[in-house]
């Protein structure tokens, strides 16, 4: 690699470092895994937005999420920039474009001396009532995620999965359906899907999910009647497995709470998980769920391939996930492709 | 097919027996004929379909994806049928079900039965195109062998009995006269037709079972009204024979005929007999010696058996009762009368591999209690008490028959590992692995696991055990926690045998938690040698 960056060589001006992707002529990192001076952040999930940076640029929704999740004082300067506004950082024009992943999620479009790289962050292509849809942007290099980049991952229609949850409530009307969801994004999406399917009863939430729901509500997303489980009153010893309020109720909680002692207040809890991983039986069984729902905020195999086809970039860089399959597929489509190996990416909540 | 697939899918993830029953009855209530009949056949293992070979599935996968993507996918999923189900997409790209409706289960079964081997791949391809991922998975599971959704034939029959609000015994009695898709069965269960008539067919008759007798309750019974015999530690079986048929059923109505040709050979009679299947050796003096239950286990769960196995572990049936002899139904007669008929029948022509379970004469309960404690023979579990006037009725009526088991053996063990339970117990560490002490090669004391138990304690005790496990965890492996050696469990069990499959070299029968010794230091728990001295036989 040459020492001075050149627009003709994308790797020379967007480089991989031990801290993450670094834009040389802009002097900033994208979703760095460690504290840095300047960062541009695609969205608010923990493995993308971390504390300790000197300055962060992100969408207003992501800035709000960062404030609630990490606290405003963990980051020096928080700069909110709306979708499609262009900001110059160093020599680079930076523009945030909807990624369709969660509220506030953005792709980062980098323009430098006539060359363009788009970093997708995490994204999906199907409709989501909690965020604007992914916009394909023509570019020289498309940096894509690969969480579900295997042909075995084909997420079925969301409403079909929600119908399975409602069907289970009909078969087991006395059992409390406990749904494991990631606090940011999946939780609110599942609530919206339930509402869209006509479920208008109160949806109960583990206390750890409330703060993010408030952020979504402030962003104008209607979640209907939701309440923290603690509002149903304290748990007495006699309530073990028979708190009548939760008979046949839907309760959302973080995946880690599914087998936790916290579940003992619910009548005959039926563990459900909503995640793209639920597509593979062994993964679902590992988590001990009785009803696996395939609902994901990441692009599935078909969406990944379709996105590469839609954008037809000069080159594809593949990050975090199953890089091999997507690199193979892009090459088979006649597009140069390679894997970027970035540290610090997690599977949780996918 | 699609609905059957959804049933299989939810069964696979449903750990609780009642939950599984609920899912099956809900399906049977709403699925059309003859689909549900074939579903019942699949669940009871009565469906005989041509097998699709793994090589064919692989070939399909490589055709669709190319070698690289298919291998990456298969590596990730680990199960060939599931991989193919997940990666498949309709060849015409028109999407699921756009061109053809998905096949029904009946269409799949009936077509496959008539198709030639050469046609199978094409049929399979066409059906895979019409189904979604769950449907494809179920279809491929049907064609590659075991369903593995945790449903026994008996549980499926229970679901059918629940559907018609009948006793399972009534279903079992007609079961073996019926063929998939069981139209006559559903007609009867849904009150459209009378019960199918088992008649003289070689079918299973529901078995009469005994209730457990507590020592304290025996005083209330009249010793003169009861007969006593040994309770043999084997497998309860029903021998059904007549012109042209010889069959052996377990008490759950599962057929075991093919595993015991040595018994079948002796069944040259026309009768339905109730007895205990054992492994027994003829000693030099001609006396019959019953082998431990472990030996019988070598012969179970085999479709075919070998001459060597039959020679090393010869099977034997010890007869308890007669339901039918030479076409005459004896079930309504009192026990004393049936016993007399059985004795006369046996005396008229003794057969090899069959004998009578001897009666144990007694005059008072005290005398019988002494006999019960006195025997330490491994093959005896305790005593059976039967009212002399009791007819042979299906099920487990309380009163006419009692089983009076020998007092259990106990040993004090140390809790080593605990695992989370399922369903209601999924937040509790409720499955316990415990061990006994022995000297390690270096001479220091070490614990070696000797068994596992998950019942025998109250809900209240479970709360305390769970807390103890959480407070004393030393390491975690997924749902399992290893705990510091500090809690003594008094374990009750029926017997203990040598076992080469366990590190400790012993295996217990029916271990359960008898008492939790919160008070006792772990170092004072029993040594492996103590347990070894209790080995039966």
**Which residue range forms the structural domain that includes residue A83?**
10-152+298-339
3-state helix, strand, coil in chain B (%, to 5): 40, 25, 35
Q: Are residues A303 and A212 in the same domain?
A: no
- A1: in domain: no
Amino acid A334: pLDDT: 96
Indicate which CATH number applies to the domain containing A50.
3.60.15.10
CB B26 to CB A271 under 8 A? no
Q: What is the chain A residue with the closest CA to B85? A: A152
Amino acid A344: pLDDT: 54
When computed from its CA atoms, the radius of gyration of chain B, rounded to whole angstroms, is: 27
Q: How many beta carbons lie within 10 A of that of residue A33, not counting itself?
A: 18
ipTM score here? Answer: 0.90
**Which residue range forms the structural domain that includes residue B65?**
2-143
Amino acid B96: pLDDT: 46
Indicate which CATH number applies to the domain containing B524.
2.40.50.140
Confidence class of residue A345 from pLDDT cuts 50, 70 and 90? low
Q: Are residues A287 and A325 in the same domain?
A: no
Most A-contacting residue of B10, B13, B82 (CB-CB within 10 A), to test interface: B13
Q: Are residues B379 and B452 in the same domain?
A: no
Q: What is the chain A residue with the closest CA to B419? A: A259
Strand order in the sheet with A77-80: A14-17, A20-23, A28-30, A38-40, A55-58, A77-80
Amino acid B376: pLDDT: 64
Q: Judge whether A142 and A311 are in contact, CB under 8 Å.
A: yes
Q: Are residues A72 and A145 in the same domain?
A: yes
Amino acid B97: pLDDT: 45
Q: Are residues A65 and A123 in the same domain?
A: yes
Total of domains in chain A: 2
Cα B62 to Cα B79: distance, rounded to the nearest angstrom = 15
- A37: in domain: yes
pLDDT digits (tens, 9 = 90+) for A88-135: 999 999 999 999 999 999 999 999 999 999 999 999 999 999 999 999
Cβ within 8 Å of residue B326, ≥6 positions away = B270, B271
Cα A281 to Cα A286: distance, rounded to the nearest angstrom = 8
Amino acid A240: pLDDT: 65
Amino acid A348: pLDDT: 40
Tokens of B110: 């009936």
Q: Can you give the three-state secondary structure of B350-416, one letter per residue?
A: CCCCEEECCECCCCCHHHHHHHHHHCCCCCEEEEEEEECCCCCCCECCECCEEEEECCCEEEEEEEE
pTM to 2 decimal places? 0.77
Q: Are residues B384 and B413 in the same domain?
A: no
- A237: in domain: yes
Q: Are residues B233 and B331 in the same domain?
A: yes
- B499: in domain: yes
Q: Are residues A116 and A45 in the same domain?
A: yes
B10: chain A residues, CB-CB within 8 Å:
168, 291
- B44: in domain: yes
Check residues A234 and B463 and name the one with the higher pLDDT: B463
Taking any CB pair shorter than 8 Å as contact, residues of chain B touching chain A are 10, 12-15, 19, 22-23, 26, 65-66, 68-69, 72-73, 76-79, 82-83, 86-87, 89, 132-133, 420, 422-424, 426-427, 459, 478-479
Cα A295 to Cα A77: distance, rounded to the nearest angstrom = 35
Q: How many beta carbons lie within 10 A of that of residue B304, not counting itself?
A: 8
- A255: in domain: yes
Amino acid B95: pLDDT: 47
- B162: in domain: no
Amino acid A350: pLDDT: 45
Tokens of A186: 């999946």
B424: chain A residues, CB-CB within 8 Å:
241, 268-269
Rounded to an integer, the average pLDDT of A322-341 is 94
Q: Which residues pair with B255 in a beta bridge?
A: B249
CB B73 to CB A152 under 8 A? yes
Question: Chain B contact for A281, CB < 8 A?
Answer: yes
Cβ within 8 Å of residue A80, ≥6 positions away = A58, A59, A60, A63
Q: Are residues B372 and B475 in the same domain?
A: no
Q: What is the chain B residue with the closest CA to A291? A: B13
Backbone angles phi, psi at B49, to 5 degrees: -115, 155
Amino acid A180: pLDDT: 96
B86: chain A residues, CB-CB within 8 Å:
151-154, 279-280
Q: Are residues B400 and B425 in the same domain?
A: no
Q: Are residues B396 and B434 in the same domain?
A: no
pLDDT digits (tens), chain B, 537 positions: 999 999 999 999 988 899 999 999 999 999 999 999 999 999 998 888 877 788 889 999 999 999 999 999 999 898 899 999 999 986 655 444 455 678 999 999 999 888 888 888 899 999 998 898 999 999 999 988 778 888 988 999 999 999 999 999 889 888 888 899 999 999 999 999 999 887 667 788 889 999 988 777 888 899 999 999 999 989 999 999 988 889 999 988 888 898 999 999 999 999 999 999 999 998 888 888 888 787 888 888 776 788 999 999 999 999 999 999 998 999 999 999 999 999 999 999 999 999 999 999 999 999 998 888 877 677 888 999 999 999 999 888 888 999 998 878 899 999 999 998 876 777 889 999 999 999 988 889 999 999 999 988 988 899 999 999 999 999 988 778 999 999 999 999 988 888 888 889 999 988 999 999 998 999 999 999 999 998 865
CB B424 to CB A241 under 8 A? yes
H or E element in which residue A196 lies: helix A186-196
pLDDT digits (tens, 9 = 90+) for A59-85: 999 999 999 999 888 888 999 999 999
Question: Chain B contact for A282, CB < 8 A?
Answer: yes
Average pLDDT, chain A: 92
Q: Are residues A121 and A200 in the same domain?
A: no
As a dihedral over the C-alpha atoms of residue B281, residue B282, residue B285, residue B291, rounded to 10 degrees, the angle is 20
Amino acid A238: pLDDT: 59
How much of chain A, in percent, has pLDDT values that exceed 70?
A: 95
Q: Are residues A46 and A93 in the same domain?
A: yes
Q: Is the pLDDT of residue A241 over 70?
A: no
Q: Are residues A242 and A270 in the same domain?
A: yes
- B38: in domain: yes
How much of chain A, in percent, has pLDDT values that exceed 90?
A: 80
- A346: in domain: no
Amino acid B292: pLDDT: 79
Tokens of A151: 């042909």
CA distance, residue B111 to nearest chain A CA (Å): 29
Q: How many beta carbons lie within 10 A of that of residue A285, not counting itself?
A: 12
A114-123, A211-220, A248-257, B75-84: which has the minimum mean pLDDT? B75-84
Tokens of A221: 């997303």
CB A288 to CB B420 under 8 A? yes
- B63: in domain: yes
Q: Are residues B256 and B276 in the same domain?
A: yes
Query: Which residue is associated with the tokens 């291998």?
Result: B71
- A121: in domain: yes
A264: chain B residues, CB-CB within 8 Å:
427
CA distance, residue B191 to nearest chain A CA (Å): 24
Residue where a domain terminates, one of B89, B112, B143: B143
CA-to-CA dists, residue A251 to A4, A180, A258, B424, angstroms: 55, 9, 10, 16
């Amino acid at each position: 690699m040459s020492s001075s960056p050149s627009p003709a060589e994308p790797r020379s001006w967007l480089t991989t470092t031990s801290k993450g992707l670094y834009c040389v002529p802009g002097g900033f990192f994208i979703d760095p895994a460690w504290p840095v001076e300047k960062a541009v952040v695609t969205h608010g999930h923990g493995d993308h937005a971390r504390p300790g940076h000197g300055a962060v640029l992100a969408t207003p929704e992501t800035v709000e999420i960062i404030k609630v999740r990490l606290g405003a004082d963990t980051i020096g300067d928080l700069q909110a920039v709306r979708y499609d506004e262009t900001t110059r950082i160093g020599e680079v024009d930076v523009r945030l474009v909807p990624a369709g992943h969660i509220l506030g999620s953005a792709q980062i479009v980098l323009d430098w001396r006539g060359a363009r790289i788009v970093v997708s962050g995490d994204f999906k292509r199907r409709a989501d009532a909690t965020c604007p849809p992914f916009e394909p942007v023509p570019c020289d290099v498309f940096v894509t995620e690969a969480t579900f980049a295997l042909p075995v991952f084909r997420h079925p229609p969301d409403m079909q999965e929600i119908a399975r949850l409602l069907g289970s409530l009909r078969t087991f009307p006395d059992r409390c359906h406990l749904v494991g969801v990631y606090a940011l994004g999946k939780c609110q999406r599942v609530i919206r899907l339930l509402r869209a399917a006509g479920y208008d009863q109160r949806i109960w939430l583990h206390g750890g999910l409330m703060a993010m729901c408030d952020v979504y509500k402030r962003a104008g997303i209607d979640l209907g009647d939701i309440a923290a489980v603690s509002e149903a009153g304290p748990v007495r010893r006699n309530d073990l497995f028979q708190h009548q309020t939760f008979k046949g109720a839907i309760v959302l909680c973080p995946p880690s709470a599914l087998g936790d002692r916290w579940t003992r207040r619910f009548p005959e809890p039926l563990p459900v998980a909503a995640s793209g991983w639920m597509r593979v039986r062994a993964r679902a069984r590992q988590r001990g769920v009785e009803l696996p729902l395939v609902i994901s905020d990441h692009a599935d195999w078909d969406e990944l391939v379709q996105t590469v086809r839609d954008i037809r970039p000069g080159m594809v860089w593949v990050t975090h996930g199953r890089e091999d399959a997507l690199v193979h597929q892009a090459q088979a489509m006649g597009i140069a492709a390679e894997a970027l190996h970035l540290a610090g990416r997690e599977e949780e909540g996918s | 097919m699609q609905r059957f697939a959804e049933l299989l899918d939810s069964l696979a993830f449903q750990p609780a027996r009642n939950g599984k029953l609920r899912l099956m009855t809900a399906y049977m209530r709403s699925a059309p004929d003859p689909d549900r009949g074939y579903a019942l056949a699949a669940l009871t293992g009565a469906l005989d379909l041509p097998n699709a070979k793994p090589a064919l599935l692989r070939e399909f996968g490589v055709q669709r994806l190319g070698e690289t993507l298919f291998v990456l996918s298969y590596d990730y999923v680990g199960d060939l049928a599931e991989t193919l189900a997940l990666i498949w997409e309709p060849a015409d790209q028109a999407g699921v079900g756009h061109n053809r409706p998905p096949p029904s289960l009946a269409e799949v079964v009936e077509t496959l039965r008539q198709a030639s081997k050469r046609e199978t791949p094409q049929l399979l391809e066409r059906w895979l195109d019409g189904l979604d991922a769950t449907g494809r998975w179920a279809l491929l599971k049907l064609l590659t062998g075991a369903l593995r959704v945790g449903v026994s034939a008996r549980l499926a029959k229970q679901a059918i009995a629940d559907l018609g609000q009948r006793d399972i015994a009534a279903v079992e009695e007609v079961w073996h006269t019926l063929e998939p898709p069981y139209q006559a069965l559903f007609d009867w269960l849904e009150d459209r037709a009378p019960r199918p008539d088992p008649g003289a067919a070689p079918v299973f008759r529901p078995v009469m079972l005994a209730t457990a007798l507590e020592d304290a309750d025996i005083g209330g019974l009249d010793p003169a009204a009861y007969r006593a015999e040994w309770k043999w530690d084997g497998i309860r079986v029903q021998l059904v024979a007549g012109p042209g048929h010889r069959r052996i059923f377990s008490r759950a109505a599962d057929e075991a005929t093919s595993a015991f040709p040595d018994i079948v050979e002796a069944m040259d009679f026309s009768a339905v007999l109730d007895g205990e299947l054992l492994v027994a050796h003829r000693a030099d003096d001609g006396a019959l010696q019953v082998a431990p239950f472990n030996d019988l286990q070598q012969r179970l769960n085999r479709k075919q058996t070998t001459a060597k196995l039959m020679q090393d572990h010869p099977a034997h049936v010890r007869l308890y009762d007669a339901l039918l002899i030479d076409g005459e139904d004896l079930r309504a007669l009192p026990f004393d009368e049936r016993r007399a008929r059985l004795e006369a029948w046996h005396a008229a022509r003794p057969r090899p591999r069959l004998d009578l379970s001897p009666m144990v004469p007694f005059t008072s309960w005290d005398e019988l209690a002494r006999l019960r404690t006195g025997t330490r023979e491994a093959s005896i579990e305790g005593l059976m008490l039967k009212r002399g006037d009791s007819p042979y009725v299906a099920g487990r009526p309380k009163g006419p028959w009692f089983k009076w088991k020998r007092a259990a053996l106990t040993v004090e063990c140390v809790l080593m590992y605990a695992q989370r339970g399922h369903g209601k117990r999924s937040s509790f560490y409720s499955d316990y692995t415990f061990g006994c002490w022995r000297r390690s090669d270096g001479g220091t004391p070490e614990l070696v696991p000797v068994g596992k138990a998950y019942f025998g304690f109250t809900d209240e005790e479970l709360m305390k055990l769970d807390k103890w496990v959480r407070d004393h965890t030393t390491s975690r492996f997924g749902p399992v926690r290893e705990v510091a050696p500090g809690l003594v469990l008094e374990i009750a069990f029926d017997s203990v045998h040598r076992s080469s499959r366990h590190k400790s070299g012993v295996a217990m029968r029916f271990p359960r938690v008898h008492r939790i010794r919160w008070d006792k230091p772990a170092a004072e728990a029993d040594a492996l040698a103590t347990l070894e001295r209790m080995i039966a036989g």
